[in-house]
Chain A
Amino acid sequence: MLKTEAAYGVHYYFDLDDISEVQLTKVNEPMSLIRYIENKLVKYGLKVAMDNNMNIFVTRENAIETDLADDIYPRIKNNKKDEEDKIKDSAEFIETKKEHLASVLVIGNKQDGLRSKKARLSGHLLDQDSTALFGATILIEELGIGSAGDEEGHFEFRVDKGSYTLLLNEINHKAQKIRLKLLSDGTADFYLEPTSVTLEGVVVTTGRYDRVQNAQMGFEQLSTKSIKEIPLVLGERDILKVATLLPGIQSVGEGAAGFNVRGSPADQNLFYIDNVPVYNTSHLFGFFSVFNSDAISEFSMSKSNIPARFGGRLASIFDIKAKEGDNEEFKLRGGISPITGSLLLEGPIQKKNSSFMLGARSTYSNWILKLIENPDFNRSKVFFGDGIAKLNFNINQKNKIQAFGYYSLDDIDFAGTTQYAIENQGASTSWKHFFNEKNNFDLSLIYSKYALETENYELPIEAYRQNNVLSHKEAKLDFTFRPSSRHDITLGGNTILYDIDRGDFAPAGEESRIILLELGEERGLESGIYISETWSPSARFTLIGGLRYNWYAYLGPQSVYKYNPGQLKTESSIIDTLYFDKNELVKTYGGLDYRLAFKYNITAGWSVKGSYNKMQQYSFLLSNTIALAPTDKWKLSDYNIEPMVGEQLSMGVYSYLWNKRYEFSMEAYYKTVDKLVEFRDGADLLINEVPEWDVLQGDLKVYGIEFMLKKSAGRFNGWMNYTYSKATVLVDNPEEGAQINFGNPYPANHDKPHSVNLVMNYKLLKRLSFSGNLVYSTGKPITYPTTAYYQDGIQLVNFTERNKYRIPDYFRMDVSVKVEGNLKAEKFMHGVWVFSIYNLTGRNNVYNEYFKARSGTVRGYKVSIFANPIFSISYNFKFGNYDY
């Protein structure tokens, strides 16, 4: 049987149990292979089917419908992120929005079709509100071939002219059958009708990223819609907190800002929201993320083969897309949680052509502080808020313009003694131009600013004020070409001008005797050009190759120290001071990034992928606390601090299981970071006048394996993952004193080898659903004291090896119940209540341990943050009918 597989180029699919007793005899007469097998197997009660891909399916019960098999294994002409617009050819445009098409859809005309035998049909698969249906399939029943909607819902195929039956399928939409008469090249957009509410399950993911078929690996995608069931801490739906339930993404601890992706420090992630980089992603020092989930449509993150159009970060790119306003009707929605209230308004500017979206969120919880009978709390103020705006204009069929703005602020005042103002601002505009259906460019101008200001009046004579501002100005241009359906080329470049005002350390208040210290400014220019090609020589095999050249310059005006080589960089090893004029090149670094990836389908439901990446990073966070602190500031690579270089090799196996209801993946990776920025023992980064005196550069090595099983649809859905990983840092430079941990390797602060996440949703009734999370991980490493001693009668402890011990393992279980308002049509408002309990078991998960020598012995102390179950209620409403 396997011989025929090779000889006839067919593939068999069968259950070994089914055919274990089957004996095939030699064939003596010519007959079709399929007929032969069928004849032989029918007596065993087995059924046979063959599809157009020469795949032969052997089953015991029902013969497989090979049309559906194609559905499982769609011929995705182009699964790359295509940026095509809905170009509507008026003559050929047919709206199928109203009803099933009983009549024949005629595309093109005979005259145009005269010259060629084949004709191409392209268009979009869309929801009724015009949102693209990624992964929706369009099949030609007669030929058993078809295509699938890409990110823009775009599909395309080229077949012989003729009459066909089209089958349209999407998991949350009604299947449609349409009769097609294809006369010449043409386009058509299809609008699918959503399945009725009664049938809808709780959808965890949009399923738009096809884990098996897509060549992208180490890629995760979550939509806001999909996380609405997941239990909330303090009632805040937070799409980035949900990200920590995905494999390879961890946070240092509860309430800690930042993520550690595949063992990298938090500053190796880049967060883009509609092209705007966000340098601080936390409200309230990490308890909430700065993104109002209502205003986010989805995010995707790459942690393996980061596309060549992105540069500048080694661990991951989070690409967050803000919601596009509805261009048909006005909508208003909002929500109230114990901490915040939010509102979102969207609607058309000019119907069908342009839309806006405005969202705002703010705390209203100062009243809680006022309730507490404590003068310190009464005098305190905790405010955070954010606003987001997005405008979309479809100028014409070939030009599309988008404008986006973002603002977030934290304003925190503790009893008049310490104040914080942390601000993100960002804006971007982009112009997307379509040369034709296949080729386009996208030009974006981006501005982002991160400003931090602290005032401290704790000690009147040392009261100080400190500020720090980072500004990011970027222009980027991306071209997408699709010379044939097998090739997809993106190329382009970007350039970023960074200006960091390192700020002043200045006296605050009349009594302060602090001497003003100006830390100065710095400027850097990061530019990159890239080209990347996705080539699919066959439907089974896809190759991605990319090259990106980065050029980074640290610019004047600046004065820099030169140190005696072979000596630790300190004040005493300075041998010269160099002065540079404005925009003079202080130091330049150039580097070539590589992106290589492949995907190969072993069978329709199984694929293997591999990738290799090399990247450079030119900025880092001045942070030596275990969790990111609110005062951490960004710093550019400079004359003395070299850029970090990262490399990653990953391999993975991907599969559909149980009739495509489950997705399984396993990825293993090995990653290194050179010139990792670490800090000298006891470095105090609050005022870091000469950064290189505190910085030591070393190596990070991470390896790991991630298993993920996911069920995306149905009443019961969710995912489960297990990760094993190991992140080790080595700082062992030749200069005396330039080591950490005596030059021995040590586990990274966020190294948590075992990690298990389980997310489950169950929709019991139309209006009632339950969700639960289970989170387990190894405790993070910690440095224990090894010696106690006396000094002047005071008991002290001595620490030796860094991160040799671990805090207790982390375990948490959360549950939530969601109750929808009534589902009557034509109502004024629809409401949703979410009741959730975070840390149901009330386990005292340890956040940190510290030690004190007391009465003759060293005592340890465990600090827990959320040591009790936390109950919260939130209410979300929307004017109009239920639709989400």
Chain B
Amino acid sequence: MQIRYFQSAITLNLEIMITRFSVILIVLVSLISCVEEFQPQLNESDELLVVDGKITNLEGPYTIKLSRSSGLDIHAIEPVAGASVVIIEENGPAVSLTEIEPGTYQTKVDGLQGKVGKSYKLALNIEGIQYETDYELLKKPTEINSVDARFEYQASFNSPEDVPGIQFYVNTDNSTFEEDYFLWTLEGTYKYNASLMIYYVYDGSLREFDNHDTLNTCYISYDIGGIYTARTANLSVPQVLDKPLYFLPATDIRLSVRYSLFTTQYSISEEAYQFWRQVELQSGGGESLYTSQPYQIRGNVKNISDPDEAILGYFTVAGVSQNRIFMDQPAEVNIVLEDCVPDPMALIEIFDSKPEDWPIYLPGGEGVSLGLVNPDCVDCQKSGGTIEKPSFWVD
């Protein structure tokens, strides 16, 4: 089976290329090809069981989520409660998971520990119907050698000009397997500042505010919802080099001060790779002129008595390694943030404000006139962050 699937690794490049080629052609003839958003209208829906969970060599607890999905509204996903969920180690124990909230099942804190070299499978019993996966090996994780951040300009379908930004690349160590399969998930954290320092506060009365930078620096962590896969089966050395991950455009607040990327690398089975690879390709977008037909991607969970039942999602068994990098604002770009000019004329409004809007912070300092500004100009938390520095953060 080696050769059959190594094709996939290259297709993405091809698609990127074709997308870029379309851009070139479009510019060539001074056209504007456009992508317009719309709300798809459906007159049907089918209810499908969705399985979502992993077991790794990291410390537990491990979580399995079961849900039933219907329609395109992701909020309409209904948890599947009251199921029996068991993770079975081959030639080892079968461990039941406890439902900690409807549809979310977890192993005990000191309970099951995934071990490298062992095989695991998932067994479910939902209202008397038996589901299970095949055993999959928990592979010895291949370490991340490095994650690199490089400043680049990249083509964008939304803009005729290339966009500056940071492209992250991952390099693995040499794998101990002749053929290794990888999945990466990413989490980003950024530090940012409110534009102005606080000099005054109004909470019924207008007072001076001493610790000007109290609400100036915040941190936000977010999941980068991309899927990144790779394989070494077609390579002469079982090592992934310069695999492009996430491209972060240097046009917004995220790169304005300091950024951290946390990379989780899963060493997975060939079957799991196929699942994630297909999902990656299918969610990759259709800007290309040469898309192929989308289709239903089924996971590894099977209904024992009805193999035709469509079940979405994959129970992934993986060896994990992790990596965190930090980087400051790239010197090449000057990120222009929201213009915060205090409005002295609007200052009078604070005296009409209601208590639920208090406290109202006002900027000041050198060269800044006293006036009313948008709250997020002085209070970084208003942009969604927290002033608490994450434990992993290194400045």
Contact = CB atoms under 8 A, between A and B. Distances in A.
Contact of A844 (B4, B34, B45, B314): B34
A36 interface: no
Contacts of B313: 789, 791
A461 B285 contact: no
A137 to B, nearest CB: 47
Interface stretch (B7-15, B81-89, B116-124, B213-221): B7-15
A790 B74 contact: yes
B235 A864 contact: no
A557 interface: no
Nearest to A861: B35
Interface string B201-230: 000000000000000000000010111000
B10 to A, nearest CB: 6
A794 interface: yes
A171 interface: no
A471 B314 CA distance: 45
A849 B283 CA distance: 13
A377 B153 CA distance: 12
A857 B74 contact: yes
Given A513-B235, A853-B74, A857-B74, A790 B52 contact: yes
Contacts of A749: 293
A787 B36 contact: no
A379 to B, nearest CB: 11
B340 interface: no
B236 A514 contact: yes
A625 B236 contact: no
A16 B116 CA distance: 93
Interface residues of A, number: 97
Given A460-B242, A629-B290, A844-B34, A688 B295 contact: no
Contacts of A817: none
A862 B36 contact: yes
Interface in A582-629: 624-627, 629
Which of B162, B278, B283: most chain A CB closer than 10 A?
Answer: B283
Given A789-B313, A791-B52, A861-B286, A382 B227 contact: no
A795 B74 contact: yes
A418 B17 contact: yes
Interface residues of B, number: 92
A338 B31 CA distance: 13
Nearest to A693: B4
Interface string A510-544: 01011101000000000000000000000000000
B37 interface: yes
Given A412-B21, A786-B72, A848-B286, A860 B10 contact: no
Which of B72, B77, B244, B278: most chain A CB closer than 10 A?
Answer: B72
Given A689-B3, A793-B223, A861-B37, A456 B17 contact: yes
A856 interface: yes
Contacts of B261: none
Interface of A: 234, 253, 255-256, 284-285, 287, 338-339, 365, 368-369, 372, 374-377, 380, 382, 412, 414-415, 417-418, 456, 458-462, 464, 511, 513-515, 517, 571, 624-627, 629-631, 681-682, 684-690, 693, 749, 783-800, 802-803, 844, 847-853, 856-868, 870
Interface in B89-111: none
7 contacts: A287-B25, A456-B14, A689-B4, A785-B294, A786-B44, A863-B33, A864-B33
Contacts of B314: 791
Nearest to A571: B1
A791 B46 contact: no
A147 to B, nearest CB: 50
A841 to B, nearest CB: 15
Nearest to A804: B44
Contact of A798 (B29, B162, B281, B312): B312
B297 interface: yes
B283 A786 contact: no
A789 B50 contact: yes
B28 A460 contact: no
10 pairs of A and B residues whose beta carbons are closest in the complex:
A850-B286, A681-B295, A629-B290, A858-B72, A458-B13, A860-B40, A625-B290, A684-B7, A418-B17, A513-B235
A414 B20 contact: yes
B237 interface: yes
A798 B10 contact: no
Given A515-B236, A789-B77, A857-B39, 6 more contacts: A369-B28, A458-B16, A458-B17, A794-B223, A852-B285, A863-B33
Given A571-B1, A625-B291, A857-B74, A796 B283 contact: yes
Contacts of B189: none
Which of A372, A414, A415, A789: most chain B CB closer than 10 A?
Answer: A789
A365 B24 CA distance: 12
A419 to B, nearest CB: 10
A802 B295 contact: yes
Contact of B162 (A376, A459, A685, A803): A376
Interface string B55-78: 000000000010101111111010
Interface in B140-181: 153, 155, 161-162
B32 interface: yes
A788 B290 contact: no
